[in-house]
Amino acid sequence: MEYIKIKFGSDFDAVSSDFEKSIEDMFRSINPIFSLCDRAWNPQMDIYETYEEVIIRAEIAGVDKENLEVEINSKAVRIHGKRMELPRIDNATYRLAEIQYGCFERILFLPSLIDPEIVSASYLNGFLEIRLAKLPTNIVHKIPISDE
């Protein structure tokens, strides 16, 4: 059985990531060849929420599990990886080239608090599915009051 790497972190340095993305977008608008990591792309993702869990599905066909990482902290999930470009056909004239290759990164902020100890991930038919158990919200903690 192969496993998808899941890391648990405390912070995703969102400011640095946003700054790098802005710089990359600026250069890519001048010339599409400019990119910080081969050629960035944004895979499409869905987030579902049930009473018990938050489910994330990512459409990342063609990405090998070895080039895929998932990181989780208390506020967000970061999915990043790289889709390798397929070999080009010699002496061919491309009439359409829409498939995007290269690095990608998505940071998804969670709609509910989750239990980072109860997480699973699977990858089937080009879809990554991450299941995150929600923390119960109906737990009440009684706080003792001291005389001091």
Domain total in the chain: 1
For residue 113, report the phi and psi dihedrals to the nearest 5 degrees.
-70, 140
Per residue in 56-95, pLDDT (tens digit) is: 999 999 999 999 999 998 779 999 999 999 888 889 888 8
CATH number at residue 76: 2.60.40.790
pTM over cut 0.85: no
3-state secondary structure 27-64: HHHHCCCCCCCCCCCCCCEEEEECCCEEEEEEECCCCC
| Confidence band for 34, pLDDT divided at 50, 70 and 90 | very low
Domain interval for residue 47: 5-10+40-84+98-134
Decide if pLDDT at 36 tops 50.
Answer: no
Does pLDDT of 48 surpass 50? Answer: yes
Q: Of 116, 1, 8, whose CA–CA distance to 65 is shortest?
A: 1
Residue 57 within any structural domain of the chain: yes
For residue 147, give both structure tokens.
């005389």
pLDDT, tens digit, 9 for 90 and up, residues 119-137: 999 999 999 999 999 988 7
Give residue for tokens 């080039």: 67
